[in-house]
Amino acid sequence: MAKELRLQFVPELGFQADTSFGEAARIGELFNRPEVLRDLLPKEDEADAVDDDADDDLGEGDEADPAK
């Protein structure tokens, strides 16, 4: 290789397989497991409370602004 690149010294090159895609797929599968989804998704009563709080912020005569 040194002759083709005209280098006096050629470093030793080593290659390793990229396992990040496999690791990302494994983590994605974990997030989709029912016991994990149960913990990640908001509970119905908490989701209702969040929706109710959003309505409380509007005063009388205020209109909801979809741009906000």
Say yes or no to pLDDT of 3 above 60: no
Q: Which residue has the higher pLDDT, 5 or 10?
A: 10
Amino acid of residue 42? P
Q: What is the pLDDT of residue 16?
A: 92
Mean pLDDT to the nearest integer, 36-47: 80
Q: What is the pLDDT of residue 41?
A: 83
Per-residue pLDDT of 7-38, as tens digits, reads 788 888 899 989 899 999 999 999 999 999 88
How many angstroms separate the CA atoms of 50 and 44, rounded? Answer: 10
50: CB partners within 8 A, 6+ apart: 42
How many angstroms separate the CA atoms of 59 and 16, rounded? Answer: 61
Inter-residue contact 10 to 2 (CB < 8 Å): yes
Q: Which residue has the higher pLDDT, 7 or 45?
A: 7
Q: What's the first-to-final CA gap in the chain, in angstroms? A: 61
